[in-house]
Amino acid sequence: MEEESFEDFWALIEDSRRRATGRDEREELLGDRLAERPLREVVRFQIQLHRLRQRVDTWEMWAAAEQIFGGSCSDDSFWYFQFWVVGLGREDFHKVVADPDALADIAELRRLAGRPLSAWPDDEWPEWEGLDYVAAGAYEKLTGEEEGLEAALDAEGIEHPCNPEPDGEAWDVRHTEEAARRLPRLSTMFPLPERTAGWQRAE
């Protein structure tokens, strides 16, 4: 699919980023906007979301997430991290696709640098699970069908995975020399030796 076909998708994502103050508010805004549109556009939004998500479903991006998350990033966390990257908007998304180390330029991450993971509030974690459910909620609002979007995707022969299937070659950010070479800025912002002690996620 050509980049121009994503224009409307990016317009929705970036409008929600400008107008909302948090992810819950962004989800509500996106859901309301989608629910004003024909069903085919709701389905198209979800298809585009996953096509873009697939571009950051790489081992290099997973390594970047592990660097940020203190050396460990589960399948679920990486899955939600991918949606968060899409939610950054077109310009930042493309920068990060070209170079995962460019995540070091993202303001949301810069605010987390130097803080222990145990002090990260849930709404600041670089994950956005809810973005994957926005279109389904809008579809249900329009049709009353709880799993209507999933059925619509099936009818079009569109796969809707729920786990990472990364491309590329896996490598371990705990190899500090390799991390410094491949993710020089992130490995400086989120150094593992100071962040691998036991921690619990803030509630």
| DSSP string across 140-171 | HHHH--TTHHHHHHHHTT-----S---BS---
- Is 49 inside any structural domain? yes
Picking from 182, 163, 162, 164, the residue whose alpha carbon sits closest to that of residue 172 is 182
Query: CA dihedral in degrees (135, 138, 143, 149; nearest 10)?
Result: 10
Section 138-150 average pLDDT? 95
The boundaries of the domain holding residue 142 are: 3-160+169-191
How far apart, in whole angstroms, are the C-alpha atoms of residue 133 and residue 137? 6
**Per-residue pLDDT for 200 more than 80?**
no
Residue 38 · residue 20 · CB < 8 Å = no
Q: What is the pLDDT of residue 160?
A: 83
Comparing 11 with 202, the larger pLDDT belongs to: 11
- Total number of domains constituting the chain: 1
- Is 198 inside any structural domain? no
- Is 103 inside any structural domain? yes
The structure tokens 């800025």 sit at 185
Q: What is the pLDDT of residue 3?
A: 56
- Is 72 inside any structural domain? yes
Lowest-confidence pick of 41-45, 128-132, 164-168, 192-196: 192-196
**Per-residue pLDDT for 15 more than 90?**
yes
**Per-residue pLDDT for 136 more than 60?**
yes
- Is 203 inside any structural domain? no
**Per-residue pLDDT for 65 more than 80?**
yes
- Is 20 inside any structural domain? yes
Picking from 44, 52, 111, 116, the residue whose alpha carbon sits closest to that of residue 84 is 52
Q: What is the pLDDT of residue 2?
A: 45
- Is 200 inside any structural domain? no
- Is 33 inside any structural domain? yes
> What's the mean pLDDT when you consider all of the chain?
92
